[in-house]
């Protein structure tokens, strides 16, 4: 890659109105009303720079990568590898080769489970997760637990949807072989102290994985500071395209891990007797990848790098506090998840009213929220509720967006109360 | 689309005062439906007397549409034969999915359910409306099965 490719874009002061102008979808009309998009933990909208990068790629750079001598292939390869370098820089990887490009965070977690954890586990070993995990940080471990005889062990959460380091430490045993925790709970917004959790695990020689799906676009992430062995994240939750994501892994682990899929582009030599693998990270990237998606992911990272993510986090925290106060005005509404350290997620229920009905009423007012179990059924079970309604903030949201949700919530009360 | 076309008075009434919402220990069959996307759950109990649905009830949790649908379904089908139930269930499925569906004129059984016609304007809610009906069919086919709308 060229040094320019990973060069940081010029920093700009965060200005939410300027940011909003970069997202054309915010001009969309929903049921004849202005779109108010409050479903960012589900997926985020895309800025013009990402849309133009995708268009530019298909118009002027499209070819397969790493495979041909023609100029277009060189352009495509440079764009793809350039994106990898940007992503590596964004999360503080030591080297570009520590970034494996995947289909998304789920794909990344499955890759670690199958390729890193599975060969290290035997019957009776424990994989430690928390009660806050998304299904994608539960089910991949269950799949390898079935094969290896290892057990999934879960650190409980308290009524606020939080856990203390003391609680966590109690669940680290001599049998714990893998620790895999979410950075931010998608269902409740709880921010876990991942640096301290990693330290506790490393004190005992246990490798750690952090699910960063909900954090990478909402607070500054530095994998060196966290110290984790792996960090998984998705482009589409970071204002980039769907179908693209990454797994950061420490080089020494990636070097020793066997590939999980075989095919083109991941090999060094192939004969019918034996094949040898391409070096890290390519040995994990069999087949033609989502090239445009990765290039768009790089553009999304460029978009985010223009801002001081501490400023963005402060903006989203202001929305969280404002939203928490405004939701309290709605009779019979209860917020689920009240941890001391929270990201911009407001999960709530209303007495006697199912979240699905809340979602439909808000949608008619142009307000998009998520309703359901948020792929976190154990969290719902913990509170004895079937589902929640969830408001989740992104970089372009404003206090006016919060206000737009409050009127319809009073309508919900009138309609079903 | 006005919200009240979806949430018609009769639907809100059944949601607030569900009919036949009870366990049935003497049931001849029971089946449960679950929508894993939103967490709606409905269990339907049936008691057959030969070919006739002598009693039908449900329990469950879910949105207004799923619970009102279960309530109205039990209300309207009690005392009818398997063939009649099959006819109404098919008509209902068409009603909530097909915008060109025209309900048979003068069919009292089906007419009552026309309040659910608004559901087809809300594709994400069709599964809510259908859940109890899937469970009922499963209960009538073979006891003890869990059906999913996924």
Asked, for residue A1, whether it belongs to a domain, the answer is no
CB A210 within 8 A of CB A232: yes
Region B121-149: what's the mean pLDDT?
A: 81
Asked, for residue A360, whether it belongs to a domain, the answer is yes
Same domain, yes or no: A216 and A331: no
CB contacts of B67 in chain A (<8 Å) are 354
User: What local confidence, expressed as pLDDT, does residue B147 receive?
Assistant: 57
pLDDT, tens digit (0-9, with 9 covering 90-100), for A3-33:
444 567 888 899 999 999 999 999 999 999 9
CB contacts of B125 in chain A (<8 Å) are 356, 360
CA of residue A399 relative to chain centroid, distance = 24
CB contacts of B122 in chain A (<8 Å) are 360
Select the residue of A356, A377, A415 nearest B63 (Cβ to Cβ). A356
Q: Provide the shortest C-alpha distance from residue A305 to chain B (in Å).
A: 35
- Phi and psi for A32 in degrees, rounded to 5? 65, 20
Domains of chain B: 3-141 (3.90.1010.10)
Same domain, yes or no: A165 and A258: yes
Question: How many CB pairs (< 8 A) connect A and B?
Answer: 57
Select the residue of B41, B61, B63 nearest A357 (Cβ to Cβ). B63
Angle between helices B82-97 and B64-77 (to 10 degrees): 150
The residue among A329, A304, A403 whose CA lies nearest residue A362 is A403
Same domain, yes or no: A138 and A261: yes
Per-residue H/E/C for chain B: CCHHHHCCHHHHHHHHCCCCECCCCCCCEEEEEEECCCCEEEEEEEEEECCEEEEEEEEEECCHHHHHHHHHHHHHHCCCEHHHHHHHHHHHHHHHHCCCCCCCCCCHHHHHHHHHHHHHHCHHHHHHHHHHHHHHHHHHHCCCCEEECC
Going by pLDDT thresholds of 50, 70 and 90, the confidence category of residue B99 is confident
Q: Provide the shortest C-alpha distance from residue B125 to chain A (in Å).
A: 9
Region B70-89: what's the mean pLDDT?
A: 94
Asked, for residue A50, whether it belongs to a domain, the answer is no
Q: Has residue A2 got a pLDDT over 50?
A: no
User: What local confidence, expressed as pLDDT, does residue A397 receive?
Assistant: 98
State the average pLDDT for chain A. Answer: 95
Across the interface, whether the CB atoms of A356 and B128 are under 8 A apart is answered yes
CATH number at residue A379: 3.90.1150.10
Same domain, yes or no: A317 and A198: no
Asked, for residue A205, whether it belongs to a domain, the answer is yes
pLDDT, tens digit (0-9, with 9 covering 90-100), for A291-333:
999 999 999 999 999 999 999 999 999 999 999 999 999 999 9
Facing residues of A184 across strands? A191
Asked, for residue A159, whether it belongs to a domain, the answer is yes
CATH number at residue A165: 3.40.640.10
Last residue of a domain, one of A305, A340, A357: A305
Region B82-106: what's the mean pLDDT?
A: 85
Same domain, yes or no: A76 and A198: yes
Q: What is the ipTM of this complex?
A: 0.86
Same domain, yes or no: A190 and A325: no
Q: Provide the shortest C-alpha distance from residue B128 to chain A (in Å).
A: 9
Same domain, yes or no: A324 and A208: no
Asked, for residue A330, whether it belongs to a domain, the answer is yes
Last residue of a domain, one of A241, A272, A305: A305
Is the full-model pTM beyond 0.90? yes
Give residue A139's domain range. Answer: 55-305
Same domain, yes or no: A253 and A283: yes
Residue of chain A minimizing CA distance to B37: A372
Across the interface, whether the CB atoms of B38 and A355 are under 8 A apart is answered yes
State the average pLDDT for chain B. Answer: 88
CB contacts of A364 in chain B (<8 Å) are 1, 3
| Burial class of residue B60 (count of CB atoms within 10 Å of its CB; 0-12, 13-18, 19+) | buried
- Total domains in chain A come to 2
Same domain, yes or no: A276 and A332: no
CA distance A286 to A266: 5
Going by pLDDT thresholds of 50, 70 and 90, the confidence category of residue B148 is low
CA of residue A255 relative to chain centroid, distance = 24
Same domain, yes or no: A297 and A371: no
pLDDT, tens digit (0-9, with 9 covering 90-100), for B100-132:
766 666 777 778 889 999 998 888 889 999 999
Asked, for residue A416, whether it belongs to a domain, the answer is no
Same domain, yes or no: A215 and A364: no
Per-residue H/E/C for chain A: CCHHHHCCCCCCCCCHHHHHHCCHHHHCEECCEECEECECCCCCCCCHHHHHHHHHHHHHCCCCCCCCCCHHHHHHHHHHHHHHHHHHHHHCCCCHHHEEEECCHHHHHHHHHHHHHHHHCCCCCEEEEECCCCHHHCHHHHHHHHHHCCEEEEECCCCCCCCCHHHHHHCCCCCEEEEEEECECCCCCEECCHHHHHHHHHHCCCCEEEECCCCCCCCCCCHHHHCCCEEEEEHHHCCCCCCCEEEEECHHHHHHCCCCCCCCCCEEEECCCCEEECCCCHHHCCCCCCHHHHHHHHHHHHHHHCCCHHHHHHHHHHHHHHHHHHHCCCCCEEEECCCCCECCEEEEEECCECHHHHHHHHHHCCEECEEECCCCHHHHHHHCCCCEEEEECCCCCCHHHHHHHHHHHHHHHHHHC
Same domain, yes or no: A173 and A201: yes
Across the interface, whether the CB atoms of A416 and B1 are under 8 A apart is answered no
User: What local confidence, expressed as pLDDT, does residue A344 receive?
Assistant: 98
Region A207-222: what's the mean pLDDT?
A: 98
Asked, for residue A132, whether it belongs to a domain, the answer is yes
- Choose the weakest-confidence range: A141-145, A254-258, B93-97: B93-97
**Catalytic residue positions of A?**
375
Last residue of a domain, one of A277, A305, A333: A305
Identify residues of A whose CB sits under 8 angstroms from chain B CBs. 31, 353-357, 360-361, 364, 371-373, 377, 380, 386-387, 415-416
Going by pLDDT thresholds of 50, 70 and 90, the confidence category of residue A259 is very high
Q: Hey, of B7, B32, B38, which one would you mutate to test binding to chain A, going by the most A CBs within 10 A of its CB?
A: B38
């Amino acid at each position: 890659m060229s040094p320019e490719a990973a060069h940081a874009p010029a920093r700009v002061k965060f200005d939410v109105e300027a940011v909003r102008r970069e997202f054309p979808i915010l001009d969309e009309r929903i049921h004849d009303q202005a779109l108010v998009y409050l479903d960012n933990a589900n997926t985020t909208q895309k800025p013009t720079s990402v849309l133009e990068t995708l268009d530019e790629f298909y118009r002027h750079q499209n070819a397969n990568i790493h495979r041909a001598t023609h100029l277009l292939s060189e352009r495509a390869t440079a764009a793809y590898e350039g994106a990898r370098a940007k992503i590596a820089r964004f999360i503080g990887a030591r080297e570009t080769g520590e970034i494996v490009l995947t289909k998304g965070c789920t794909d990344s977690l499955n890759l670690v489970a199958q390729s890193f954890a599975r060969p290290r586990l035997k019957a009776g070993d424990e994989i430690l997760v928390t009660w806050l995990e998304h299904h994608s940080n539960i089910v991949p471990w269950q799949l390898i637990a079935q094969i290896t005889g290892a057990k999934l062990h879960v650190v409980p959460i308290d009524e606020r949807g939080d856990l203390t380091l003391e609680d966590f430490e109690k669940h680290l045993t001599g049998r714990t072989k893998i620790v895999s925790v979410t950075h931010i709970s998608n269902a409740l917004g709880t921010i876990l102290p991942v640096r301290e959790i990693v330290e506790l695990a490393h004190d005992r020689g246990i490798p750690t994985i952090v699910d960063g799906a909900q954090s990478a676009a909402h607070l500054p992430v530095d994998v060196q500071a966290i110290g984790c062995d792996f960090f998984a994240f998705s482009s589409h939750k970071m204002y980039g395209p769907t179908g693209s994501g990454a797994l950061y892994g420490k080089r020494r682990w990636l070097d020793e891990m066997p590939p999980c899929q075989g095919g083109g582009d991941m090999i060094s030599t192939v004969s019918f007797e034996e094949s040898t693998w391409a070096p890290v990270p390519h040995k994990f990237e069999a087949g033609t990848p989502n090239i445009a998606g990765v290039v768009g992911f790089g553009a999304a990272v460029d978009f985010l790098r223009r801002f001081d993510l501490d400023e963005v986090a402060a903006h989203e925290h202001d929305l969280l506090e404002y939203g928490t106060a405004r939701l309290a005005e709605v009779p019979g509404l209860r917020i689920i998840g009240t941890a001391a350290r929270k990201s911009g997620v407001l999960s709530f229920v209303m007495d006697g009213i199912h979240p699905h009905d809340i979602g439909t009423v808000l949608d008619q007012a142009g307000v998009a929220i998520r309703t359901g179990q948020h792929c976190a059924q154990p969290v719902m079970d913990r509170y004895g509720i079937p589902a929640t309604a969830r408001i989740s903030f992104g970089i372009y949201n404003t206090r006016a967006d919060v206000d737009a949700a409050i009127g319809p919530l009073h309508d919900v009360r009138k309609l079903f109360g | 689309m006005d919200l009240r076309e979806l949430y018609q008075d009769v639907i809100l009434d059944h949601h607030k005062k569900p009919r036949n919402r009870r366990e049935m220990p003497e049931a001849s069959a029971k089946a449960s439906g679950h929508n894993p996307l939103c967490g709606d759950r409905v269990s339907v109990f049936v008691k057959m007397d030969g070919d006739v649905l002598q009693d039908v009830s449900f329990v469950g949790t879910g949105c207004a549409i799923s619970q009102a649908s279960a309530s109205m379904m039990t209300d309207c089908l009690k005392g009818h034969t398997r063939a009649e139930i099959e006819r109404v269930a098919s008509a209902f499925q068409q009603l909530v999915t097909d915008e060109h569906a025209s309900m048979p004129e003068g069919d009292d059984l089906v007419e009552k359910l026309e309040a659910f016609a608004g559901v087809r304007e809300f594709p994400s809610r069709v599964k809510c409306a259908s859940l109890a009906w899937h469970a009922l069919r499963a209960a009538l086919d073979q006891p003890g099965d869990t059906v999913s709308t996924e």
